[in-house]
Amino acid sequence: MKHCQNRHSRGFTVIELLTVASCLSVLSALILPAIQDARSAALRTKCQNNLKSVALAMHNYHDVYNGFPPGWISRYRDAESEGGFGWQARLLPYVEQAPLYSKLEMNHPMTEPEGLLTESVNVYLCPADTDAPKTNPYRGGYGTSSYSGSLGTIAPNRWIDGRVEAYWPGAVTTYAALLRQGRPGKKTEEDKQLPGPASLPEAMLGSPDGIFGWNISVRMRDISDGSSNTLMAGERSRMSGWGIWPGTGSNRFETDVVTDVSFQSPLNQSLTGFSSAHPGGLFVALCDGSVRFLSDEVDSRPEGGVLQFLGTRNGNEVITGNPFPQ
């Protein structure tokens, strides 16, 4: 009769376990950065595609109305005017949001932030900006946008960024009011008390020098600097209070929907400038429909650098070199 011999499997020794653990740690250290880089690249691509959709929507809007949408529309130009719908609200049918657009009363002043005006519109949100809330607590509680239109090189007439200034006493003359004073036509008594055209920057007379402004529709033929050399829109993150897609709370809050590229508004460094969650710079859409990555280190000067040249649509500046090295 044969006897069965019990076989006992030998376990791992402490040294073997430590060796395996060390190998796994090394592999994790090598793999995790690659995974993070891949995720970051995917988020950058998604953000770039969002802005590309916005740029395409702008051109489709232009084809229909023979001009880009106004930055925002308001019947009045005083600081405490009623809110007005902005350019992103008018683009909704062209970014696959026609049902939302059809429910908005676009021919009326913008109402208080509730209902449809607090909805999230995914194409207006940068996926890398994970801090972005559904509604913007810095701008009245309307639906948040990670993108803002280019106002140009002339900063709004503010002590400090509009929504922050709301908590300070008094009101500074609005950008819309200054534009009104610079335009020909009948002036009210209040208009006559505003700074005269001689005291305004030349670029401010009649219209801003960017793509978006108050009650202004810029056409492609107005962009004499060339569509590939002119900013259309860019990113805006927590650094500068994000933006909102419906429009402006009032003329006092121009920066709800537009951003300037003056020397006083450096990229990723100010409440008033463009900013992003991407390291090293931000994505911008140009008027030719392309989307490029603009470095934080782009030349910017009080007398006009590359950033300021990109911000004007008709400044006749010459941009040398490639401002978009990436």
234-258 pLDDT, tens per residue?
Answer: 999 999 999 999 999 888 899 999 9
The phi and psi torsions of 235 (rounded to 5 degrees) equal: -85, 150
Comparing CA positions, the residue from 69, 60, 61, 46 lying closest to residue 125 is 46
Report the distance separating Cα 112 and Cα 141, nearest Å.
Answer: 9
* Residue-level pLDDT at 244: 97
Residue 203 reports pLDDT greater than 90? no
Are 154 and 262 a contacting pair, CB within 8 Å? yes
Report the distance separating Cα 115 and Cα 113, nearest Å.
Answer: 7
Instruction: Sort 220 into a burial class: Cβ within 10 Å, 0-12 / 13-18 / 19+.
Output: middle
Are 257 and 110 a contacting pair, CB within 8 Å? no
Are 253 and 139 a contacting pair, CB within 8 Å? yes
Q: Provide the residue type at 195 as one letter.
A: P
Higher pLDDT, 160 or 319: 319
pLDDT band at 168 (very low <50, low <70, confident <90, very high): low
96-150 pLDDT, tens digit each: 999 999 999 998 989 889 899 999 999 999 999 998 999 999 999 999 999 999 9
Computed over every residue of the chain, the mean pLDDT equals 84
Report the distance separating Cα 324 and Cα 282, nearest Å.
Answer: 11
* Residue-level pLDDT at 227: 94
Which run of H or E residues covers position 152? strand 147-152
**pTM value > 0.85:** no
* Residue-level pLDDT at 154: 85
Report the distance separating Cα 44 and Cα 38, nearest Å.
Answer: 10
